[in-house]
Amino acid sequence: MTVSAEPFAQKYGPYALVAGGSYGLGAAFAEGIARRGVNLVIVARNKDALNTTAARIRETHGVDVKTIVADLADVDNVKKRVSALSVEIGLFVYDAAFVPIGPFAEATEDQLAAAAAVNVRAPLLLTKFFATPMITRGRGGIVLMSSLAGGQGSPNLATYAATKAFNTILAEGLWKELSPLGVDVLVCTAGAIMTPGYEQAENVKPAPGTLPPVTVAETTLDALGNGPVVVPGAVNKIGRFMMTRLLSRRAAIGIMSKNTGGLS
């Protein structure tokens, strides 16, 4: 794939930070950004996966890749580690998520707290952390990941879906606020993604509209600066339109329940 690096690198360089960038969609974002000529900082908990991805990107794309092994629930530690690098972050991509699966009645308080910490508190506070210098410079970009599950109530994924709805609304508001200041904000509302965990799951058939990580990442990066929301994949666009615009909330929740109600 041939990508013109100059405009993207000029606006969103010299470094991009990808939270959750060790494998799957996060690694696809890191690859796509490197392909566009921007250096990287990738953050994740899995040291081995992080180092493997960093080495592959350095060798393939010839960019600098710095790694931070950290739990994104510990925002203060992440901010401290990023500040110690003394690099200018022109693009922030938040792809990390904690997904409690199963009936809400069976979820532990620790699981719910982790979902709130990783899916809500971390992207909110890190967006503030990175947006502030971007506003001062008059350029930059922020990408938050959401999900079609966050368009309506999703039984057995209720907490995860609610956190994704938060990210959608946050990004939409910031898109309007920050665009005039030179900072592009985008939320990717994705359907099912063929991540390593999804591929290895037993007795799980790909949902309609399931996409490989590289397609989601490339579609999202290409859409940055062109509006507040991107929905990768034609099937997912149609599904989102039907679920959020044509159907009643009751009907949309019922349809989602057929897909998520058996999860445990």
Q: What is the mean pLDDT of each run of 10 residues along the chain (264 residues)?
A: 67 97 96 98 97 98 98 98 98 96 95 98 98 98 95 92 97 98 97 63 60 96 96 91 86 81 60
Closest among 26, 121, 19, 116 to 70, alpha carbons compared? 19
Residue with tokens 């039907």: 242
pLDDT at 87: 98
Joined together, the tokens standing for residue 248 give: 């009643």
pLDDT at 106: 95
pLDDT at 39: 98
pLDDT at 196: 55
- CA–CA distance from 221 to each of 32, 70, 172 (Å)? 8, 25, 16
**Cα 52 to Cα 248: distance, rounded to the nearest angstrom:** 46
Angle at 26 between CA 20 and CA 32, to 5 degrees: 140
The DSSP 8-state label assigned to residue 149 in this structure reads: G
pLDDT at 10: 95
pLDDT at 263: 63
pLDDT at 243: 84
- For residue 251, the domain's CATH number is 3.40.50.720
pLDDT at 11: 96
Global confidence as pTM: 0.91
- Domain span at residue 117 reads 5-260
SS3 at position 137: helix
The number of domains in the chain is: 1
pLDDT at 203: 40
CA 206 to chain centre: 20
pLDDT at 261: 60
Q: Are 55 and 29 in contact (CB under 8 A)?
A: no
**Cα 154 to Cα 57: distance, rounded to the nearest angstrom:** 36
pLDDT at 206: 63
Q: Are 34 and 61 in contact (CB under 8 A)?
A: yes
Q: Are 146 and 165 in contact (CB under 8 A)?
A: yes
DSSP characters over 113-128: HHHHIIIIIHHHHHHH
Residue with tokens 């507040």: 228
DSSP characters over 171-207: HHHHHHHHGGGTEEEEEEEE--B--HHHHH-TT-PPP
